[in-house]
Amino acid sequence: MSYVIGPECIDVNDRSCMDECPVDCIYDGERKAYINPAECIDCGACEVVCPVEAIFVDRKARGDEQRTTFVGDNAAFFDLPLAGRAEPVGTPGGAAKIGALGVDTPLVRDW
């Protein structure tokens, strides 16, 4: 189980979830944030502070095509090289180590 940030975050990216996350697993793209599923401890702290209710548990995406798309897109942010980057973000052990990335997945970029 992991948490995912959906389309409601696009162009809002309030970042209150990032401040609340106890393990620094929420990474800052250009238009939205992404939760690293390998680093998330499933505490839910991010979900309750999100002002636009964009954060959900991945298993709650079942049967919802848009949410399912964002579960896959969230994984792609960490598993595939993003525009202008030679390597995937991977699992660096916290967002603070690499700072704001200023780039999104193609899905979010083109949203």
CATH code of the domain covering residue 19: 3.30.70.20
What's the whole-number mean pLDDT along residues 54-73?
94
SS3 call for 5 = strand
User: With bands split at pLDDT 50, 70 and 90, how would you rate the model's confidence at 47?
Assistant: very high
Q: Does residue 39 fall inside a structural domain?
A: yes
Q: Mean pLDDT for the chain? A: 95
Distance CA 41, CA 85 (A): 27
Q: Evaluate whether residue 107 is within a structural domain.
A: no
Spatial separation of the C-alpha atoms in residues 103 and 107, rounded to whole Å: 11
Which residue is it, tokens 């002002």? 51
Check whether 40 has a pLDDT greater than 80.
yes
Distance of alpha carbon 88 from alpha carbon 61, whole angstroms: 25
Whether pLDDT at 104 is above 70:
yes
Name the residue range of residue 28's domain: 3-100
| Residue 35 in domain | yes
